Amino acid sequence: MQNYLDHHAVPDRLYHGTRATFSAFEDRYKGRGSHNLTAEFGFYVTESESEAELWAKRTRYARMDPWRVLHVRIQAKKLFAMEYDVFLYYLQVARGATIVKHRQQWLAEGWEGFTVVREGIRWYCLFHPEQLEILA
């Protein structure tokens, strides 16, 4: 796998949709609002503010806090590009144990996360909460 960041720049401002109230990302809340196991990989942000808004509105806690979109900056030096069909495998077929195992393998290889294009929109998944900074 090649490092995506060797050939591409990440925008200074990315977006994370949520209904939770927090001032920093934390491992213990990873995937809490999601309906799928791919949330076990890490924390997702996107280049599309409107896409982040859609995800915030359909979170499992839709009856709780009002939705909001956080402006986020990421700090990573090593991200790999995941093909969408591979991401779909994790999204639709893979079991939780497989997801955890592959995440552990990627961490052991020094990867800090991955990027994937889903329906024409680029997403980034960061493995560690300290890699995400919420902007004012």
Cβ proximity of 67 and 57 under 8 Å: yes
**pLDDT of the residue at 60:** 62
For 51-68, how does the pLDDT look when each residue is reduced to its tens digit (9 = 90+)?
999 988 877 655 667 888
Rounded to the nearest 5 degrees, what angle is found at the Cα of 17, between the Cα atoms of 35 and 48? 110
Average pLDDT over residues 92-99: 92
E-strand ranges in 2-42 read: 14-18
Instruction: Report the predicted TM-score, pTM, of the whole model to 2 decimal places.
Output: 0.91
Tell me which residue has tokens 């490092």: 3
